[in-house]
Structure 1
Amino acid sequence: MHTSPRGSLVALSLSMLLASLGTSIANVGLPRLAQVFDASFHAVQWVVLAYLLAITAVIVNAGGLGDRFGRRRLLVMGLLLFTLACALCGVAPTLEWLIGARILQGLGAAVMMAMTLGMVGDTVTKERTGRVMGLLGTMSAVGTAMGPSVGGVLLGVWGWRALFLVGVPLGVLAAALAWRYLPVDRQHGTATSREAFWVPLREPALRAGLAMSALVSAVIMATFVVGPFYLSHGLGLDSAAMGLTMAVGPCVSALNGLPAGHLTDRFGSQRMTLTGLGLMAFGALSLSLAAGLLAYLASLILLTLGYSLFQAANNTAVMSDVAASRRGTISGLLNLSRNLGLIVGASGLGAVFAWASPDVTHATGQAVANGLHVTFAVALALIIAASTFAWRRHSAVNGLQNTR
C-alpha cells in the first residue's frame, strides 16, 4: 500500500461524487419506473426518499464507527456496500426490491459522506483544509449536476437499469483507490458517548456551525423545489430550457468550489462564512423581487456563489480543530445537519410556496411568481437567522483565543 496525497484526494473526491450522484441520477428515471412497475408517483418517489432517509438515519453513527474502528477501513466497506447495492438496484425485479436496495445504497453513501469529510484532516495539513473542503464541495455539486444529464443519456440508450449499474465500476474503482492511497488507520483512542456530542470550550461554535448548515441547506433546496414551477408555469419555459436553467446553480457551485476553499485558507473561515451568508442574503432578497428569466438567473448565481463560499468556510471551521479521534463523529453530525436542512427545505419551504400559490398547476404566471417571492422572503429570514449564529460563533472563537 502506497500513501499518496494526490491519490488520496482522488479517492475522497470520487467517493463524494458517487454519494451525490446516487441522489440526483435516480430522479430522472421516476416516470419510467412508474411505467415499468405500473406504480403511482407516490410509490416510485420512495426510490429517492429511501436513499435520503437511510443517509439521514445512520450518518452520525457511521462517523462514530469510523472513529472507533478506523476511517479508511470503514470507507472501503461503505464503498463496497454502495457498489453491491448499485448492482442489486440494477437487477431489481420489483419496485419493493428496488426500494430495499436503495436503502442499502443510502447506508453505503452515509458511510462515504461521513468518512470523506472525516479523513480530510488525516490527508492534508491544517493550512490546506479549506481548499480540500472546497474541492469536496465541488465534487458534490458536480455529482448533483451530472445526475439529470448523465441519467438522461443512460436512460435513453440502455434503459432504467443503467442508472444504477453505472455505479458498479465507479464504486469498485473508488474502493481500490481508497485502499491503496489513503493513510493507514491509526489508533487515536475512542470517544465516549458524552464526548461524541460535546466539545469542551468549543461547544457553542460547533452548535452554531451545525445550525447554520441546516438553515442554509434548506434555502438551497428551495431553489430545486420552487424553481421548476416558476420556470415552467411562471415563465413558460419548455422542459429543455428549464433543465438548462436548473443546471446553472450546480454548475456555479462546481466552478466556485476550489476558489472558495482558497479564499477560506487565505482570509479565514469566520470572515468567509459571514461573506458567504451576505452574498446569499442578497441573492434571496433578489429572488423575492425577481421578475423575468435574467433577474432569476442573476439572483440564483449570486445565491449559489454565497452558498459555495459558506460551505467551504463553515465545513473548515467545524472540522479544523476537531481531535483526530472524533473527526468521523463530527463529520457525521455536519452531514446530518445538511440532510435535515434539505428535508426541511423540500417540505417546509415547499409548503410556504404551496400556501402562497395554491393550485399551482392551474395558477396564473403572476400567482406562481408571487409564490416564489413569498418563499424567498422566508428564505431570507432563515439566512438572517444563520448570520446571527455566525456572529455568535465569531464571538465565541475570539473569546476562546483571548483566554489562551
Structure 2
Amino acid sequence: MKTDRLEMRMDGAGAEVAASGRGALAGLALSVLLASLGTSAANVALPDLAVAFGASFQAVQWVVLAYLLAITTLIVSVGRLGDVIGRRRLLLAGLALFAGASALGGAAPTLALLLAARVLQGLGAAVMMALTLAFVADVVPRERTGRAMGLLGTMSAVGTALGPSLGGLLIAGPGWRAIFFINLPFGLAALYLARRHLPQDVRRADAPRPAFDIPGTLLLAGSLGAYALAMTLGRGHFGGLNLALLVAAAAGVALFVAVERRAASPLVALGMFRDRLLAASLGTSLLVSAVVMATLVVGPFYLAGALGLGAAQVGLVVSVGPVVAALAGVPAGRIADRFGAQPATIAGLTGMTVGAVLLAALPAASGVAGYVVPIAILTASYALFQTANNTAAMTAVGAERRGAMSGMLNLSRNLGLVTGASVMGAVFAAAVGVADIAGATPEAVAAGMQRTFGVAAGLVLVAVAVAARARGGRA
C-alpha cells in the first residue's frame, strides 16, 4: 500500500514537471512570435504613419530601422547579461519592457516618441530572442531539443507570415495604433507563462559571479550599429557615408578583438571560434540568411515585373515561403533529433542549394509554379538547416555560455538578413542593367532574377563546404 502511494506521488510529480515544461515552452514560443511580429507588422504601417505624422518616407522608415538596429546591436550583449545575472530574471524584464514599450508606441503623440518606443521595444525583443534559445536545454529533455528548436523556428516564421496580413487588418479597422497595442495582452500572457513555468535561476553559493564586459559591449554595439547603418542607409545607393560607416565598423571590430583578448570575463569568448563546428554554425547561418533575404527582396520584383502579377497576387505568392517554413519547423526538429543535428544541417543546406539552382535555371515561361516550387524547397530546407544548426550549437556549449551563444546565433542571422537585403539587391539591380527597375523589361527582370539566384546558389555551396569541413575536421 505504501509503495502504491509512493508510485502515485511520483507519477503526479512527473505529470506536474511535464506540464510545467509545456507551459515554459509555450511562453518561449509566444516570446519568439511577438519579437517576429514586431518587425513584420510595422512594415505595412509606414504609409499610414507618414500621413499621421506628416513625415517623409525617409523619416518613417526609422520606425522599422530603430527596432532592427536595437536588436542587432544589443542581442549578443543581452544574451551574455542573462548568463551573468540570471536568464529568467532578464527574460521577465525583457517581456515587461516589450509590452510596456508597445503600449507607449501605440499611444505616441509624435514620431520622435514613437521612435523612442521602438528602440525600447527592440531592446525587449533582443532579450526575448537571445534567451529563448538558451532556455530550451533547461525545459525539455536533451533528446527532444531539436523539436523544441523547430517549434521556436515555426513561431518565428508564423510571425513573419502573419505580420503583414494582421497589420493590414488592424490598420483597416482600428487604425495604425492597434498594431502596437495588440502586443500588450499577448506580451502579458507570455510574461505570466514565463514567470509561472520557467525554472528559477540557480547559482552555486561558492561560484564567483562573472563580471559583465562593459567596454566590449560598447565596442561591439557601436561596430554592429555602424555596419547595419552602412547596409541600410541610401536604399541601395552606396555612397561616402556608407563607406565611412563600414570603415568605422571594421575599426570597431579590431578594437573589440583587442579588448576581448585582455578581458577577464569577455563578452565573446574568442576561443570558441577555434571550435570548427561552432564557428561553422555562425558562418553558415550568416550566408544562408542572406540567401533567404534575397527571396524577400528580389522575389516581389520578379513576380510583378516578369510574371505580371498584381499587388494582391504578389503578396499571396511571397507568403508561400514563410508559410512553408512555419509548417516545416516541427518536422525539421524531429529529423534533427532522430538523425543527428550535423547530418540534418548538411541535408538542409543541400536542399537549399537545389532550390536556389532551380530559381536560377527555370525560365520565366514556367510561370508562378516555376517560382513557388523552388521557393518551397528552399524555405523548407532552410527550416531544417536553422533548426539543426541551432540545436548543434546550443548543445555544444556549457550552461554558463548558452545566453551568449544564443545571442551570437541570432546576430549571425540578423547580419545575414541585413547584408542580404543590401548585397543581393545590388546584384539584382546590376544584373537587370537599368537604373530604374520599375521600367525594366520582363526579360531583363527575369535575367536579373536568374543571375541573383546563381550567386545565391554559390553562397549556399560555400556554406555546404564550410559545414562539411567542420564536421569532418572536429576531433
TM-score (norm 1): 0.95
**Equivalent of 1:267 in 333, 339, 346:** 339
Q: Which has the higher contact order (CA 8 A, sep 6+)?
A: 1
Q: Secondary structure at the match of 1:193?
A: coil
**Aligned twin of 2:360:** 288
Question: Is the Cα–Cα contact under 8 Å of residues 29 and 152 in structure 2 kept in the other structure?
Answer: yes
Count of residue correspondences: 397
**Equivalent of 2:438 in 338, 358, 361:** 361
Question: Is the Cα–Cα contact under 8 Å of residues 105 and 177 in structure 2 kept in the other structure?
Answer: yes
In the TM superposition, residue 99 of structure 1 has moved relative to its aligned partner by: 1.4
**Aligned twin of 2:305:** 233
In the TM superposition, residue 193 of structure 1 has moved relative to its aligned partner by: 2.9
**Aligned twin of 1:373:** 450
State percent identity of aligned pairs: 57
What do the CA deviations read for 1:328-387 (whole angstroms, capped 9, x no partner)? 010001101010000001111111111112311111111111111111111111101111
The aligned runs of 1:86-101 (5 Å cut-off) are 86-101=102-117
Q: Secondary structure at the match of 1:119?
A: helix
Unaligned runs of 5+ in 2: 1-15, 211-263
In the TM superposition, residue 196 of structure 1 has moved relative to its aligned partner by: 3.7
Q: 1:200 to 1:240 in 2, by over 3 A?
A: closer
TM-score (norm 2): 0.81
Q: Look up the equivalent residue of 1:222 and give its one-letter code.
A: A
Q: 1:313 to 1:58 in 2, by over 3 A?
A: same
**Equivalent of 1:338 in 413, 419, 424:** 413
**Aligned twin of 1:138:** 154
Question: Is the Cα–Cα contact under 8 Å of residues 26 and 47 in structure 1 kept in the other structure?
Answer: yes
User: Does residue 312 of structure 1 match 2:384?
Assistant: no
Question: Is the Cα–Cα contact under 8 Å of residues 232 and 242 in structure 1 kept in the other structure?
Answer: yes
Question: Is the Cα–Cα contact under 8 Å of residues 13 and 136 in structure 1 kept in the other structure?
Answer: yes
The aligned runs of 1:391-402 (5 Å cut-off) are 391-397=468-474, 399=475
Q: 1:41 to 1:162 in 2, by over 3 A?
A: same
User: Does residue 349 of structure 1 match 2:424?
Assistant: yes
In the TM superposition, residue 216 of structure 1 has moved relative to its aligned partner by: 0.7
**Aligned twin of 2:199:** 183
Question: CA RMSD of the aligned region, Å?
Answer: 1.5
Question: Is the Cα–Cα contact under 8 Å of residues 196 and 326 in structure 1 kept in the other structure?
Answer: no
Q: Look up the equivalent residue of 1:379 and give its one-letter code.
A: A
Q: Look up the equivalent residue of 1:318 and give its one-letter code.
A: A
340-349 or 93-102, larger mean C-alpha shift:
93-102
Question: Is the Cα–Cα contact under 8 Å of residues 89 and 102 in structure 1 kept in the other structure?
Answer: yes
The aligned runs of 1:99-248 (5 Å cut-off) are 99-187=115-203, 193-194=265-266, 196-199=268-271, 203-248=275-320
What do the CA deviations read for 1:253-273 (whole angstroms, capped 9, x no partner)? 111000000000000111111
Counterparts of 2:184 and 2:322, CA distance in 1: 24
**Equivalent of 1:250 in 305, 316, 322:** 322
**Segments ≥4 residues shifted beyond 4 Å:** 188-192, 199-202
Question: Is the Cα–Cα contact under 8 Å of residues 77 and 267 in structure 2 kept in the other structure?
Answer: no
Question: Is the Cα–Cα contact under 8 Å of residues 199 and 206 in structure 1 kept in the other structure?
Answer: no
Counterparts of 2:372 and 2:107, CA distance in 1: 40
Question: Is the Cα–Cα contact under 8 Å of residues 13 and 135 in structure 1 kept in the other structure?
Answer: yes
